[in-house]
A and B are shown apart, each in its own frame.
Chain A
Amino acid sequence: MSINHPTAPFVGALERDPKISLIGTLAMLVEAPGDFDMVQQRRIWALADVLASRPNVQEAVIGVTNVMLVFEQPPDDVAALSASIIELWHRLPGRDADGKLIEIPVVYGGEHGFDLPAVAARAGLSGQEVVRIHSEAEYTVCAVASSPGFGYLHGLDPRIFMPRKSVPSLNMRAGSVTIGGMQTGVAALSSPNGWNAIGWAPVPMFDPRSDQPSLMAPGDRVKFRIDRIEW
Chain B
Amino acid sequence: MVIEILTSHALNTIQDLGRIGARRFGVSTSGAMDPVALAAGNALLGNDSDGASIEVQTFPFRLRFGADMAFALTGVDCNAVLAGSAVPPWWCMRAKAGDILALGTPRRGARAYLTFEGGIDLPPVLGSRSTHIRAGFGGLEGRALREGDIVPISRTRHEPAARSDFGAEPPEVAIAGASASADGVLRVRVLRAGEYDLFSDAMKATFWSTTWKISLQSDRGGYRLAGAELTLPTPVEMRSHGVVAGVVQVPPAGAPIIQMSDANTAGGYPKIAAVIQADLWRLGQARPGSRIAFSEVDYEEAVAAMTPVNDYIACLRATADLYRAL
Residues of A bordering B, CB below 8 Å? 19, 21-27, 29, 31, 36, 58-68, 70, 74, 78, 143-150, 152, 188-189, 191, 206, 208-209, 213-214
User: Chain A residues near B122 (CB, 8 Å)?
Assistant: none
Which of B194, B242, B264, B275 has most A Cβ within 10 Å?
A: B242
Name which of B15-23, B60-68, B158-166, B171-179 contacts chain A.
Answer: B15-23
> CB distance B26 to A214 under 8 Å?
yes
Q: How far is the CA of A64 from the CA of B237 in the complex (A)?
A: 12
> CB distance B247 to A23 under 8 Å?
yes
Distance in angstroms from A181 CB to nearest chain B CB is 11
Closest 3 CB pairs of A and B: A68-B242, A21-B194, A61-B242
Q: How far is the CA of A132 from the CA of B26 in the complex (A)?
A: 29
Distance in angstroms from A218 CB to nearest chain B CB is 8
Q: How far is the CA of A59 from the CA of B134 in the complex (A)?
A: 22
Partner of B25 from A31, A70, A149, A152 at Cβ < 8 Å: A149
Question: Residue B13 at the A interface, CB < 8 A?
Answer: no
Q: How far is the CA of A142 from the CA of B211 in the complex (A)?
A: 40
Q: How far is the CA of A100 from the CA of B275 in the complex (A)?
A: 39
> CB distance A59 to B135 under 8 Å?
no
> CB distance A213 to B193 under 8 Å?
no
Q: How far is the CA of A137 from the CA of B264 in the complex (A)?
A: 29
Distance in angstroms from B128 CB to nearest chain A CB is 10
Given contacts A26-B244, A59-B24, A62-B24, 6 further A-B contacts (CB under 8 A): A25-B276, A29-B194, A58-B20, A63-B241, A68-B243, A213-B27
Which residue on B lies nearest to A48, using beta carbons? B24
> CB distance A36 to B26 under 8 Å?
no
User: Chain B residues near A189 (CB, 8 Å)?
Assistant: 134-135
> CB distance A213 to B240 under 8 Å?
no
> CB distance A21 to B134 under 8 Å?
no
Q: How far is the CA of A143 from the CA of B264 in the complex (A)?
A: 14
